Structure 1
């Protein structure tokens, strides 16, 4: 049976799925709990599945509910981005937003676009590992400089540059001051990152091989990660530009001689038809190619 899914009901569903509590979800949505319950029941009837198992003490997602939770967030983001693109197309290009990761300098490209379009309001948006692609998928940015690897679904990518990755450690670390290190030097170190972000370390790490790895302390920003590094809780592997951007006296960095470089690309939404995006991508590619030749 065909079901036309109401995006408002999906937003209601995601709130309940996040809190697993109808009362708290209703408070977040600023609606009455009975109204929320009716909307969720209506969604279940439209889809022909049960999304939650409820009793007097708890609320849990069913298998269908867990799948809908995974699929709903990108659907709502794309709907929001669609609305932004349609509104922008109707009004004409008045602004342009560029997302960038820490350590990447976008001044030359922004100045070139501003010179070509002095009437255009150009803004920059700092991103992180968690939202570097989300900002273009949900329409907050027209283009975004991303550090690979990323989930490429819904994105167009233009490769721009490669840069070395370095070991970042406390200033009093045993390897501090070395001109370069090998990945094998790090086998017994504690990495303050997802091991999959540094597969070269993951494949030789003693703590993974012996099952002694402890969870890395929470760090949503580079600044937080460097605080943990400075206090000796572990090491990090970062692109060179990020490490030099956050220079501080209690943290040192050294090149890693036998590790793949970090690749940087420009990303934009496949659905975008903005000629300004194509113009910006061409400018960025031209400027980076000129810099590399220089």
Structure 2
């Protein structure tokens, strides 16, 4: 390898709440010679990171501009409201947006939900991040509506969360620049979509097992080969039977002539 050549590698961006562990493990099993580097990015910055070449592909939150980015939707998250454990909402299994109408609901600057109308009462200031909003919920300032993965990411013992039945949902997708659909990107798409290593898009499909050659039939059918040590004489008698008399017969005394 010359000094100008760069060994192959793969950079995977991911937004908060996404856990790429399973896909990274499969990549390392199938392509151990190509290192995969994780790049943590905010949901707002993820598209620009992909466009700027900061990552080969990434897990993003939809929507993204598909003019220059390809995206494969993967799953939709449940939306929940984060509340103190002693809040009245903690006593029910599910709430609606209307149930939060009288509460202060925090709206951080990095909110990833596409609201037509924000729920609850607005706070005096918007927290800079979801992590900051979580601290304010713990302090009793207000509530926070987020995708469930973010509630788990910022879990605290003094807080809990409940599903919000009619809130907007957040969708996670695998995205990459359309003009940079490289072989490694195709490999990762195959892993995320659950293709096996033997699929048509796999890099190193396993060779098909050799098929046994069919036996050619002999004329008149197959003849059984006699067992070793057996006589093949026409009489069919055992060589131990002598003249053919009964094996093991008793020998008597000769009779005296009268």
> Counterparts of 2:71 and 2:171 in 1: how far apart (Å)?
12
> 1:200 deviation in Å?
5.5
TM-score, reference length from structure 1 = 0.58
Query: Is the 8 Å Cα contact of residues 159 and 265 (structure 1) preserved in structure 2?
Result: yes
Instruction: Give per-residue Cα distances to partners, 1:127-171, cap 9 Å, x unaligned.
Output: 222212222111111111112233444211011111211111233
Q: Report the counterpart of residue 178 of structure 1 in structure 2.
A: 92
More off after superposition, 272-281 vs 142-151: 142-151
> Counterparts of 2:127 and 2:83 in 1: how far apart (Å)?
15
Query: Structure 1 residues 242, 218: closer, same or farther in 2, change over 3 A?
Result: closer
User: Which of 157, 161, 176 pairs up with 1:253?
Assistant: 161
> Counterparts of 1:284 and 1:197 in 2: how far apart (Å)?
24
Task: For residue 176 of structure 2, give the secondary structure of its aligned residue in structure 1.
Answer: strand
Query: Structure 1 residues 223, 213: closer, same or farther in 2, change over 3 A?
Result: closer
Unaligned runs of 5+ in 1: 1-89, 288-294
Query: Is the 8 Å Cα contact of residues 12 and 37 (structure 2) preserved in structure 1?
Result: yes
Residues 139-218 of structure 1 aligned to structure 2 (within 5 Å): 139-193=53-107, 197-199=113-115, 201-202=117-118, 205=119, 207=121, 214-218=124-128
Is 1:275 the equivalent of 2:183?
yes
Which of the pair is proportionally richer in helix?
A: 1
Q: Report the counterpart of residue 44 of structure 2 in structure 1.
A: 130
Query: Structure 1 residues 92, 277: closer, same or farther in 2, change over 3 A?
Result: farther
Residues 79-118 of structure 1 aligned to structure 2 (within 5 Å): 91=5, 94-118=8-32
Task: For residue 26 of structure 2, give the secondary structure of its aligned residue in structure 1.
Answer: helix
Instruction: Give per-residue Cα distances to partners, 1:173-232, cap 9 Å, x unaligned.
Output: 331232111111122333322689352652xx464xxxx76331322xx32221122112
Instruction: Give per-residue Cα distances to partners, 1:45-93, cap 9 Å, x unaligned.
Output: xxxxxxxxxxxxxxxxxxxxxxxxxxxxxxxxxxxxxxxxxxxxx8455
Query: Is the 8 Å Cα contact of residues 171 and 230 (structure 1) preserved in structure 2?
Result: no
> 1:245 deviation in Å?
2.9
Instruction: Figure out how many residues of one structure are paired with residues of the other and give that number.
Output: 190
Task: For residue 254 of structure 1, give the secondary structure of its aligned residue in structure 2.
Answer: strand
The 4+ residue runs of structure 1 with deviation greater than 6 A are none
Unaligned runs of 5+ in 2: 196-258
> 1:123 deviation in Å?
1.0
> Counterparts of 1:206 and 1:233 in 2: how far apart (Å)?
13
More off after superposition, 230-239 vs 190-199: 190-199
